[in-house]
Amino acid sequence: MEIVRVAGWVFEKRDLGGIIFILLRDSTGIIQVTWSRKRGDKEIGRKMKKLKINDVIEVRGEVKKEEQAPNGVEIIPHTLRVLNEAEHPLPLDPTGKIDAGLETRLNLRPLDLINPKRNAIFRIKSEVLRLTREFLRDRGFLEVITPKIIATATEGGAELFPVPYFEVTAFLAQSPQLYKEELTIPFERVFEIGTYFRAEPFNTNRHLNEFVSIDIEAAFHTYEDVMKVAEELIVHVYKRLNEGMEEELKLLNLDLRIPQTPFPRVKYDEIMEKLRGIGVKIESGEDIKMEHLESLKDERTEGYYFIIDWPSKVKTFYTKDKEDREGYTNSFDLMYRELEIGSGGERIHKYNDLIKKMRKMGLSIDNFRHHLVFYKCGMPPHAGWGIGLDRLMMSILGFKNIRETVLYPRDRFRLVP
């Protein structure tokens, strides 16, 4: 006779009078606890009768085979302690039988996450983090942590959240860009997975004001080299999820097909031409919007692909211009269908070229002096990218709303819980 102690939550209860079944949930799964009038202790029966969904209990008892139980065994309780009671009605049905709207679910996120499907999303996300780090380490990338409070806007474009920092105003970082570039000097290849911030008043299904970015930067890499790192990373993640997360994927009704490499490389100009071909009014040098891509039907843009060779105008100041084509850069966006999930490219590594580009774009040299000094001290040719973790999750799991892939999203109107 095997005696066990399990603590967890009441997930379901069936009271047939003379026999009471409890499905008890903990982080390892669900187990049945069975009391019967014939053989069970009366006091335990009284307690079982009163139990409500999500009450927290501890059971000690005997494990028995029971073919009709969810995992082939049941526990016959010898003792039962109620550790905390849940007040009913619960503000959200945690079993997921009665589904609520997204707003309500996010307001009550911890309860929402009891639903096995929702729970599976974040077990997969945790695994994606692990697999990503494992892959990048194996490729010689060192994990680094760079500041999230910064003195100067790094990209010069996006709106930043200001932070009063003692006597001065600082900003919340929107990326580790300049730091990861500098760190190629001592470490050659670095990666960081961190939280970043953008102050735009977004109100879409694919933007959040706080997001997690996977960033790499690598000396002596071209943009083609780092595109390879990105596609091989994605294939690695898909393969390993299929091997280790079968149960979670099944819960989400997902059958992950390993993407084929190389991902298509489609030139910016080629996309523009096609768009104009279907009547979209768009000028060369403009950004390509999601709405534009939605109307493009093309086998090359069905899954993951890169849009490469963007005009200098729409890319950041540190992006390297093409040697053989003026006004264009060695850059790319990583796409999944119409969704941009990352971007990157080769960076300028020579001091004079960078100063020239910054002047042309009207940026203050003085604001960047702490960074620019390193371009005179051995800055290597380098390339890198940033991939939005939450958007990568959208692409893997097939979600249209980024909020489904984030525990506690932050947007224009959401700051709690």
Residue ranges in 233-252 that form contacts with its own copies under rule CB under 8 A = none
Task: Confirm or reject binding of residue 9 to its own copies (CB under 8 A).
Answer: yes
Among 72, 157, 162, 327, binds its own copies (CB under 8 A): 162
Task: Write the binding mask 295 to 334 for its own copies: x where contact by CB under 8 A, - elsewhere.
Answer: ----------------------------------------
In the bound state with its own copies, the residue whose beta carbon lies nearer, of 272 and 392, is 392
Residues 206, 402 contacting (CB under 8 angstroms) = yes
Distance CA 308, CA 344 (A): 10
| Helix and strand counts by DSSP (H, E) for the chain | 13, 16
Min CB(18)–its own copies separation in Å = 28
Distance CA 36, CA 21 (A): 9
In the bound state with its own copies, the residue whose beta carbon lies nearer, of 67 and 366, is 366
In the bound state with its own copies, the residue whose beta carbon lies nearer, of 100 and 144, is 144
Task: Confirm or reject binding of residue 7 to its own copies (CB under 8 A).
Answer: yes
Q: Which of 301, 336, 303, 333 is nearest to 315 (CA)?
A: 333
Task: Confirm or reject binding of residue 166 to its own copies (CB under 8 A).
Answer: yes
Task: Write the binding mask 210 to 229 for its own copies: x where contact by CB under 8 A, - elsewhere.
Answer: x-x------xx---------
Min CB(124)–its own copies separation in Å = 11
Min CB(353)–its own copies separation in Å = 11
Q: Which stretch binds its own copies (CB under 8 A): 34-42, 70-78, 306-314, 400-408?
A: 400-408
Task: Confirm or reject binding of residue 137 to its own copies (CB under 8 A).
Answer: yes
Number of Cβ within 10 Å of residue 313's Cβ equals 13
Contacts made by residues 363-367, CB under 8 angstroms, sequence distance 24+: 363/156, 363/317, 367/152
Among 47, 77, 105, 182, binds its own copies (CB under 8 A): 182
Task: Confirm or reject binding of residue 185 to its own copies (CB under 8 A).
Answer: yes
Task: Confirm or reject binding of residue 188 to its own copies (CB under 8 A).
Answer: yes
In the bound state with its own copies, the residue whose beta carbon lies nearer, of 195 and 284, is 195
Task: Confirm or reject binding of residue 417 to its own copies (CB under 8 A).
Answer: yes
Tokens read off for 387: 């991939």
Q: What share of the chain is helix, strand, coil (3-state, %, to 5)?
A: 30, 30, 40
Helix (H, G, I), strand (E, B) or coil at 133: helix
Number of Cβ within 10 Å of residue 9's Cβ equals 19
Q: Which stretch binds its own copies (CB under 8 A): 35-43, 140-148, 277-285, 305-313?
A: 140-148
What does the buried/exposed string (b/e) look like for 332-371 if buried means 16 or more CB atoms within 10 Å of the residue's CB?
A: bbbbbebbbbbbbbbbbbeeeebbebbeeeebeeeebeeb
State which of positions 32-91 bind its own copies (CB under 8 A).
54-56, 58, 83-84, 86-87, 90-91
Min CB(60)–its own copies separation in Å = 13
Tokens read off for 44: 């335990």
β-partners of residue 414 are 411
